Amino acid sequence: MRHVAILGSTGSIGTQTLEVIDRFPDRLGVAALAAGRNVELLIQQAKQFRPECVSIQREQDLPRVRDALSGTGIRVSTDPCEVARADADLVVAAFVGSAGLRPVIEALRGGTDVALANKEVLVMAGELVLAEARRYGAQIRPLDSEHVAIHQCLAGHAASSVRRVVLTASGGPFRGATLEELARATPEDALAHPNWEMGSKITIDSATLMNKGFEVMEARWLFDLEPERIDVLIHPESIVHSLVEFSDGSWLAQLGIPDMRVPIAYTLAMPERLPLPDLPPLDLAALGALHFETPDVARFPALGLARDVLAAGGAAPAVLNAANEVAVQAFLEGRIPFTRIAAVSETVLEGQAGRLAPDLEAVMDADREARAAAHRAIEEGRA
């Protein structure tokens, strides 16, 4: 039995993880759950899976959760780090944004392996996080579909034989849009992803291609690859989840339907595979063709911005992540147009150039200051 703690249990990845766990009660169990503001869903999950502890984000929601779980023996707090410290074999990190960084480090310091869907953790502090994993003998497993695909393609191959890895991106809802159309795009337009069902923040990041830029940064740390050996291709069908090119010119690709339960099940059970007969099979004959194209960084500058930040290092990745979070929320609230999301991040980065991030506190300081700078840039219309 493998016991799992979930950071972000009420979000898209968290709920799908629990769905997979529920299918295999003899193989998988729930040790602890951490949620944001979805009080009722957390209560429902806790009653169903009976974890040892749960956490809810807001202090004001604590009495409601405690009352609902009274008599169950389940501990209730507002500290997700307590969930990260639970007696688990694996922590699924499915928070959105910077909120996942401290709990992930807490899990690693306890020697617990982490399955990482919260890509911002490695974006903000990849070197620091990997150093903590090595220090405490914990592993970081990929949970994004693209990185799970690369993990499978690399299995059994020497790192020296890898020429490059290629992450695929659907292109989102605006793949063929002009700059004029992008400038008029509404949050409803941007949230209409053609292939995947995800939370609002990651869906907007997919539409700007910032998500793919973050995945490039994540791949650099997960697979110890130089940035120049990580490429991106637009693949609108979302069937090929990523590819690896080897030194002899051979390619390996991982294919599957666009359903996150597949990579979640792979990561929860590795090195074994769990059967998922309820999911529709991939029918290549029905698809007929698969298409690939080069990303247009002129229309989607976020991808190029992420690459520049990866090369710059220091605190720049944390600054980019923070500014992007603020800008995405401003767009969702109708305060800035779609095309200003990347522009806000670029403006904030210019004001933070050359900043170092030698430790976790420096990273969090950069995060706080970048958020404040992003709010000012939005309010002043400087981006």
Domain limits, the chain: 2-143, 147-287, 313-380
- The pLDDT-based confidence of 274 (bands split at 50, 70, 90) is very high
Please tell me the class of the 313-380 domain.
Answer: mainly alpha
- The CA distance from 337 to 24, in Å, is 44
Q: What is the pLDDT of residue 339?
A: 95
Count of other CB atoms within 10 angstroms of residue 49:
21
Mean per-residue pLDDT of the chain: 95
> Token pair for residue 322?
């923070």
Q: Is the pLDDT of residue 172 over 80?
A: yes
Given pLDDT bands bounded at 50, 70 and 90, which one contains residue 354? confident
The answer to which of 187-196, 313-322, 364-373 has the lowest mean pLDDT is 187-196
CATH number 2.102.10.10 is the correct assignment for the domain at 2-143: no
Percent helix, strand, coil in the chain, to 5, is 50, 15, 35
Position 147 confidence tier, pLDDT thresholds 50, 70, 90:
very high
> What's the pLDDT score for residue 42?
98
Q: Do domains 2-143 and 313-380 have the same CATH topology?
A: no
Determine the pLDDT at residue 383: 63
Give the contacts of 284 (CB within 8 A, at least 6 positions apart). Answer: 255
Give the pLDDT band (50/70/90) at residue 196: confident
